[in-house]
Chain A
């Protein structure tokens, strides 16, 4: 049975990965830099790794986590 819990939310938590993020805003629209394509389903990503023989960069973050975003922001701006 699926369990659910209501949690406090900020809905931007995946910023935890934001120094791995897709494209810098300045590059968006210019098509100059290749961004990162992320698999959002574990099994799909594992299948792709086996298909291509590539190693895996795995990250996970919770949608309701404020601190995750704060930490990533500090790293991105050089404050550590």
Chain B
């Protein structure tokens, strides 16, 4: 799958976290409810408009298995003549630090955070880091985010810098974390690559049992506040049954006459 994906630009969004992106997703796929649901999947042409696969809630609905998806992706990629393009790629980061931390935790990856107060300095960090994110030894081994105000990182322990790169290890639920390494913003590209590769090689991904993870989150009342309202009917029904943040199902109401 990863090999087939090299011929694609891979975009992974967080549903309900950006109004404009939500409108784009709704144009691609809505469920029977007619509303945007939790997950959306589609292969698109480079123009971002033409659909190259049946859209759906996930790749499993469209392709059934990773193998068939990879074969289809190869066939599609062969229809396009790709080019190196002018300039360098943009940094493949999440919309903000909060989401970057959450997604990195989900993928059990460390997060590289670019920290700079001014636009010029931030662009300089991005220009150094972005090409490395696609190198063979680094692709898929970090998440990325940017911070101009360190107050966004109040939930993160460890030494921070006002200009440079912070490698953050996310906490269990992706709302906290700790800075594991600080790299100067003035580092050379080779040094930056070397330090990132060394960190990635040493980093041990946390094993996570999905059901245990969910249960612990419920028990601890971990909540997530979305940017826009959730419209997935099943998701909202589950929330209504349990109550926000409570985790445990409410006790069954005893009917009159029950003994």
Chain A residues within CB distance 8 Å of chain B: 2-17, 19-23, 25, 28-31, 33-42, 44-73, 75, 80
Contact = CB atoms under 8 A, between A and B. Distances in A.
Contacts of B1: 19-20, 36
Interface string B160-174: 000000000000011
Contacts of B133: 37
Interface of B: 1-3, 5-18, 20-21, 24-25, 28, 38-48, 52, 58-60, 64-66, 73, 76-77, 80-87, 89-95, 99-100, 102-103, 105-109, 133-134, 136-137, 139-141, 143-144, 173-175, 197, 200-205, 207-208, 210, 213-214, 217-218, 222-230, 232, 234-235, 238-239, 242-247
Contacts of B80: 53-55
Given A34-B136, A56-B9, A57-B11, A5 B230 contact: yes
B169 to A, nearest CB: 13
A75 to B, nearest CB: 4
A36 B58 contact: no
Contacts of A12: 105-106, 174, 208, 210, 213-214
B10 A65 contact: no
B247 A56 contact: no
A7 B230 contact: yes
A64 B154 CA distance: 22
Given A7-B239, A10-B213, A51 B89 contact: yes
A66 to B, nearest CB: 6
A60 B57 CA distance: 9
Given A44-B92, A59-B40, 4 more contacts: A20-B12, A31-B200, A51-B89, A52-B9
Contacts of B6: 34
A30 B205 CA distance: 12
Contact of B13 (A36, A40, A71): A40
B224 A55 contact: no
Given A19-B66, A55-B45, A64 B224 contact: yes
